[in-house]
Amino acid sequence: MQPAKISIINITSYIGTELARLLYRHPRVQIISVTGRSEMGKNLSEVLPHLSEIDLPIEAEPKEADLVFSSLPHKASAEALLPLIERGIRIVDLSADFRLKKAESYQRWYDFTHPAPEFLKKAVYGLTEFHRPQIAHSSLVANPGCYPVSALLALAPAVKERLIHPDIIVDSKSGISGAGRTLSLGTHYSEVNENVSAYALEGHRHLPEILQELKALSPDFSPSLTFLPHLVPMTRGILSSCYAQLVEGKIASSQKGIAKLRQIYRDFYRGEPFVRIVEAPPQTKQTWGSNLCLIYPTIDLRTNRLIVISCLDNLVKGGAGQAIQNMNLMLGFPETMGLEALAIYP
């Protein structure tokens, strides 16, 4: 059987680079072209030596392929992908450009008018654990943001089972790679090292994405969500701490209640290859380089409040690994193919 042909748009981004690294060992695909306008004309090995085994020139436009990944920034991605969408090429977009269903949301949260609002309803939100059947039959998948993957997987069982009140807090910490490779003062080593900072207190761009998917889980549930991200001095990883008041009578505020809560989470994610319900609060290093999301649900017995800790690698399960998980479904491959690597520790 011939391998599926893959093109990567903007391989010089952190996500594009991680896509290439993971796809190189995938047994059923072949990367046939990569783009990156800032390094156009150079060989990939010259720009990214750790990918020297992928002997390809960096081009301006992607070659025709069975599936195309785009890791361009928002707005630029939609504009580049429109001709491919119209030709029916299968696409996994790692920007935000097709995640939200309402076109007006892009003006508010991303400060641009969406160039192709007619495709927003066609696109499938690419959190595999939520939309597996739709992804398998879609030609346009919007890969989730890294923060939303950690928050949604942490909260989904509690929302679906209506265990919590709508007032929810998600406190997330991310490594610096989440900001991308573009140079900025905020991610300069001297600014970030030995420092922790909160940002986007007025509302992060991933907030509407989280709200959209929580409402889809339980249509009559109207979450009031406070989402507060922080930048921490590490390269990879996201750890999200999620809090909400438990509904009286749904689950006991006791050790038996905690055991029941964890069973609810295990049942919800039974059979999911990349979600693990763990017995102790997880750490970001336990997911480094893997496609796993580790989740620890518990109850604060003093306040009767749900606490859920989740962590993942923002460049893998929060980015390139999730995208390949979606690609596998779209191309009819086993969902875990090419993603079986264990985490690197320490």
Task: Say whether pLDDT at 186 is over 90.
Answer: no
Nearest to 44 by CA among 31, 29, 58, 26: 58
How far lies 13's CA from each of 38, 46, 290, 304, in Å? Answer: 11, 15, 19, 43
**Catalytic hit among 146, 242, 293, 311:** 146
CATH number of 4-144+318-331: 3.40.50.720
Q: Does position 316 have pLDDT exceeding 90, yes or no?
A: yes
Phi-psi region of 341 (alpha: psi -120 to 50; beta: other; left: phi over 0): beta
Q: How far is Cα 325 from Cα 290, in angstroms, rounded to an integer?
A: 12
DSSP three-state, residue 14: helix
Cβ atoms of residues 72 and 16 within 8 Å: no
CA–CA dist 311, 271 (Å, integer) = 19
Q: Do the strands 140-142 and 90-93 form a parallel or antiparallel pair, or are they unpaired?
A: parallel
Sheet of 224-231, strands arranged across: 197-198, 224-231, 164-174, 238-246, 305-312, 293-300, 275-277
Q: Which of 250, 244, 285 is nearest to 154 (CA)?
A: 244
Q: Tell me the two tokens of residue 32.
A: 């046939």
CATH number listed for the domain at residues 147-314: 3.30.360.10
- Count Cβ atoms below 10 Å from residue 162 Cβ, excluding itself: 12
**Full-model pTM:** 0.97
pLDDT in tens, 251-264: 999 999 999 999 99
Mean pLDDT over 72-90 rounds to 96
| Residue extent(s) of CATH 3.30.360.10 domains in the chain | 147-314
For the chain, what is the mean pLDDT? 97
Exposed, middle or buried, 53 (CB in 10 Å: 0-12/13-18/19+)? exposed
* Portions of the chain given CATH number 3.40.50.720: 4-144+318-331
Give the pLDDT of residue 172.
98
Summarised one tens digit per residue, pLDDT across range 95-145 is: 999 999 999 999 999 999 999 999 999 999 999 999 999 999 999 999 999
- pLDDT tens figures, 280-299: 999 999 999 999 999 999 99
pLDDT at 270 over 90: yes
**Is 146 annotated in the active site?**
yes
Cβ atoms within 10 Å, residue 182: 8
pLDDT at 259: 98
DSSP secondary structure, 51-101, as one string: GTTS--BEESSPPP-SEEEE-PPTTHHHHHHHHHHHTT-EEEE-SSTTT-S
Amino acid 182: pLDDT: 86
pLDDT tens digits along 150-184: 999 999 999 999 999 999 999 999 999 999 988 88
